[in-house]
């Protein structure tokens, strides 16, 4: 598989108008990987123009043909799984085993939406008079833009773009500054799959602001889909309001992970490992606050700490590594300051608790006990390999604690009591709830949050609905 370093606009590989480039480095080794295009406003404008020009042609392509092209893209992604995984690990640091998994996860959105492309149907409605016929059709919203994060360099692009393309939209993607190469590799495969010129465009940049402004304000753009921080999401929402664009926002999370006294503790420990340590704690749905019933807290903490202390830390490109580096030094500084603050305020460290001897942005997988809801670590998204355990004594108390946040993306809990499973899942103010399960993401189900965690859903049937408009047509016989 080729390594592409230029913007992909209108089916061409192009430099920035300014000719500027920036460097992409490996977060595990700090080694230089590639110089890529550092786009500005004018490059984003060119990409939007290209998506606009391609829109009429692509929306008119019969659904079955769209499906076949997307299926070809899916097959190429899977055929290149190993190369894509290696590239992804080199730019974002996640262990190879997880990168391979992300290729499968990302490809699944392409496959699912290839199938959905053939099932975009409208309705006929009961007529209001004998000479009238009422119907609805569903059409793609138009030109869409996607701003995607570094923690899932491939899957967050396909989760947005595959449904958009299946719905007949054209897309401009701005990948995260640290992970442009996976996005460009996807563009190379899109071209090979026969996705026509202008339908899928990628614009890379060292900073999101300039390109992001064009993608969220341009009058040709009808929808923007963003995954990233709540702070940036709020800026994009304001910018998109100027032209009343459709928006999908997958923003921050502060996921509670509750272990009730009736839980299967071994299963809860396994779920906690999967939820917390996926991508070295750097996912929006990672468990962030552990609430463990006081009667089982010592058993849970002891068993979990044992598993955590066995994790293998290192360069994700080495087989057998479980945890890679954090994405950059700012990320490790944040994690370290949250842990230090918690320890100073009385938390007890069971394992880890500091920067790793490997240096750079490696952090020791950590378990903290005696954390309180008032500590900063309970109120902020940690985005790192740290388990912070607060104990509770009643179901009412823990539901209040879990809901006491501006976020509402994912929540998890472990119980063997069926009525508790139903009641608690209904009372948690979250877009997604895992019961006795620590990893619930799939292309089949709606992914998204409530409150300041975002707007809209990605994945499943709802994922493609977000890129469709319903048009009502009333026909009168004259
Ligand atoms: C994210 O962290 O933004 C996505 C995680 C997932 O899809 O499971």
What angle (nearest 5°) sits at the alpha carbon of residue 464, between those of residues 1 and 222? 90
Q: For domain 7-252+452-476, give its CATH number from 3.30.9.10, 3.40.718.10, 3.40.1350.10, 3.40.605.10.
A: 3.40.605.10
Beta strand 12-14 with 7-9: parallel, antiparallel or unpaired?
antiparallel
Distance separating alpha carbons of residues 359 and 244, to the nearest angstrom: 46
Q: Of the candidates 109, 216, 211, which has an alpha carbon nearest to the alpha carbon of residue 164?
A: 109
How far apart, in whole angstroms, are the C-alpha atoms of residue 116 and residue 63?
9
Transcribe 269-332 into DSSP letters.
HHHHHHHHHGGGG-STTSEEEEEEETTTHHHHHHHHHHHHHT--BS-TTSTT--B---SSHHHH
Write down the pLDDT at residue 1: 79
Q: Indicate the pTM of the whole model.
A: 0.97
Distance of CA 38 to CAs 16, 212, 470, Å? Answer: 6, 13, 38
Parse the chain into domains and list their residue ranges: 7-252+452-476, 255-404+410-442
pLDDT digit string, tens, across residues 15-32? 999 999 999 999 999 999
- Ligand 1 center–CA 283 separation, angstroms: 5
Q: How far is the CA of 349 from the centre of ligand 1 (A)?
A: 28
pLDDT of residue 9 exceeding 90, the answer is yes
User: Is the confidence at residue 153, as pLDDT, over 90?
Assistant: yes
Decide if 284 is catalytic: yes
Q: For 71, how many CA atoms within 13 A lie in the half-sphere containing its CB?
A: 11
User: Hey, whose CA ends up nearest to atom 3 of ligand 1?
Assistant: 284
Q: Which of 102, 146, 155 to mutate to test the pocket of ligand 1 (most atoms within 8 A of CB)?
A: 155
Protein residue with its CA nearest to atom 8 in ligand 1? 441
Residue count (the chain): 478
Quote the tokens at residue 387: 């388990």
Residue nearest to atom 7 of ligand 1 (CA): 441
Selecting among 284, 381, 443, 452, the annotated active-site residue is 284
Summarised one tens digit per residue, pLDDT across range 157-197 is: 999 999 999 999 999 999 999 999 999 999 999 999 999 99
Pocket of ligand 1 (CB under 6 A): 151-152, 227, 250, 283-285, 441, 447
Q: Distance between CA atoms of 458 and 160, rounded to whole angstroms?
A: 7
Task: Determine the residue of 147, 148, 156 to mutate for testing ligand 1's pocket, defined as the one with the most ligand atoms within 8 A of the Cβ atom.
Answer: 156
Tens digit of each residue's pLDDT (9 = 90 or more) over 226-282:
999 999 999 999 999 999 999 999 999 999 999 999 999 999 999 999 999 999 999
Angle at the Cα of 176 (from 281 to 230), degrees rounded to 5?
Answer: 65
Which residue(s) pair with 291 in the sheet? 258, 390
> What pLDDT, on a 0 to 100 scale, did the predictor assign at position 6?
98
User: β-pairing, 246-250 with 454-455?
Assistant: antiparallel
Strand partners, 22: 36
- pLDDT higher than 90, residue 340: yes
128 CA distance to ligand 1 middle (Å): 46
Burial profile 174-190: b = 16 or more Cβ within 10 angstroms, e = fewer: bbbbbbbbbbbbbbbbb
* 3-state secondary structure at position 268: helix
- Quote the CA–CA distance of 344 and 352 in Å, as a whole number: 15
Closest C-alpha to ligand 1, atom 5: 283
Task: Please tell me the distance between residue 304's alpha carbon and the centre of ligand 1 in angstroms.
Answer: 23
C-alpha span between 292 and 297 (Å, rounded): 5
Mutation pick for ligand 1 pocket among 229, 444, 447 (CB with most ligand atoms within 8 Å): 447
> Per-residue pLDDT for 8 more than 90?
yes
151 Cα nearest atom in ligand 1: 2
Residue of 148, 274, 284, 407 best suited for mutating to test ligand 1, as the one with most atoms within 8 Å of CB: 284
Residue 400: which pLDDT band, with cuts at 50, 70 and 90?
very high
Question: Do residues 292 and 261 touch, judged by C-beta distance below 8 A?
Answer: no
Instruction: State mean pLDDT over 58-64.
Output: 98
For the CA of 284, the closest atom of ligand 1 is 2
Closest atom, ligand 1, to C-alpha of 440: 8
Three-state SS at 438: coil
**Mean pLDDT over residues 287-313, rounded?**
98
| 3 state SS of 132 | strand
Dihedral Cα 247, 250, 253, 258, nearest 10 deg: 110
The mean pLDDT of 306-318, rounded to a whole number, is 98
Quick one: average pLDDT of 307-318?
98
Do 327 and 335 meet the contact criterion of CB atoms below 8 Å apart?
no
Asked if pLDDT for residue 2 goes beyond 90, the answer is: no
Contact 195, 18 (CB under 8 A): no
250 noted as active-site residue: yes
Q: Which of 91, 102, 250, 458 is catalytic?
A: 250
Q: Which residues contact 412 (CB under 8 A, 6 or more apart)?
A: 255, 256, 257, 258, 271, 275, 287, 433, 434, 435, 437, 438, 440
According to DSSP, the β-strands at 143-147 and 221-227 are: parallel
| Cα gap 422→405, rounded to integer Å | 22
Residue nearest to atom 6 of ligand 1 (CA): 441
The CATH code of the domain at 255-404+410-442 is: 3.40.309.10
Q: Which atom of ligand 1 is nearest to the CA of 149?
A: 3
Give dist(CA 13, CA 18) in Å, integer: 15
Phi, psi of 454 (to 5 degrees): 135, -175
Q: What is the pLDDT of residue 5?
A: 97
What mean pLDDT value characterizes the chain?
97
């Amino acid at each position: 598989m080729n390594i592409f370093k230029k913007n992909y606009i209108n089916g061409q590989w192009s430099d920035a108008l300014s000719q500027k480039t920036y460097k992409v480095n490996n977060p595990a080794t700090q080694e230089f990987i590639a110089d890529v295009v550092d786009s500005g406003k004018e490059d984003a404008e060119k990409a939007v123009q290209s998506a606009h020009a391609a829109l009429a042609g692509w929306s008119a392509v019969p659904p079955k043909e769209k499906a076949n092209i997307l299926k070809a893209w899916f097959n190429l992604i899977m055929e290149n799984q190993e190369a894509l995984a290696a590239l992804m690990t080199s730019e974002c640091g996640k262990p190879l085993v997880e990168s391979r998994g992300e290729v499968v996860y990302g490809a699944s959105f392409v496959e699912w939406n290839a199938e959905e492309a053939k099932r975009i149907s409208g309705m006929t409605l009961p007529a209001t008079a004998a000479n009238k016929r009422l119907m609805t059709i569903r059409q793609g919203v138009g030109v869409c833009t996607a701003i995607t994060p570094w923690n899932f360099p491939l899957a967050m692009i396909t989760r947005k773009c595959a449904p958009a393309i299946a719905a007949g939209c054209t897309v401009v993607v701005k990948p995260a500054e640290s992970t442009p190469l996976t996005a460009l590799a996807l563009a190379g495969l899109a071209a090979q799959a026969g996705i026509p010129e202008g339908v899928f465009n990628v614009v890379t940049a060292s900073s999101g602001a300039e390109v992001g402004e064009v993608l969220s304000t341009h009058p040709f753009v009808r929808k923007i889909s963003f995954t990233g921080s709540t702070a940036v999401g709020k800026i994009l929402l304001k910018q998109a309001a100027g032209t009343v664009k459709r928006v999908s926002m997958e923003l921050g999370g502060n996921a509670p992970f509750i272990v009730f006294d009736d839980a299967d503790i071994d299963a809860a420990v396994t779920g906690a490992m999967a939820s917390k340590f996926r991508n070295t704690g750097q996912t929006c749905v990672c468990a962030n606050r552990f609430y463990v019933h006081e009667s089982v807290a010592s058993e849970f903490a002891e068993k979990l700490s044992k598993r955590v202390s066995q994790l293998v830390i290192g360069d994700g490109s080495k087989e057998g590594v479980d945890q890679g580096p954090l994405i950059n030094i700012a990320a490790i500084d944040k994690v370290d300051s949250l842990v230090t603050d918690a320890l100073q305020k009385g938390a007890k460290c069971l394992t880890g608790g500091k920067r790793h001897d490997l240096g750079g942005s490696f952090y020791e997988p950590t378990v903290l006990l005696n954390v309180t809801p008032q500590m900063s670590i309970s109120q902020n998204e940690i985005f790192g390999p740290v388990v912070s355990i607060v104990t509770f004594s009643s179901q009412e108390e823990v539901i209040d604690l879990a809901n006491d946040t501006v976020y509402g993306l994912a929540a998890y809990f472990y119980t063997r009591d069926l009525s508790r499973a139903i009641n608690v899942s209904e009372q948690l103010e979250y877009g997604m709830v895992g019961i006795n399960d620590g990893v619930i993401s799939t292309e089949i189900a709606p992914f998204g949050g409530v409150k300041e965690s975002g707007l809209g859903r990605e994945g499943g049937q709802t994922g493609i609905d977000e890129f469709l408009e319903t048009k009502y047509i009333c026909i009168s016989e004259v």
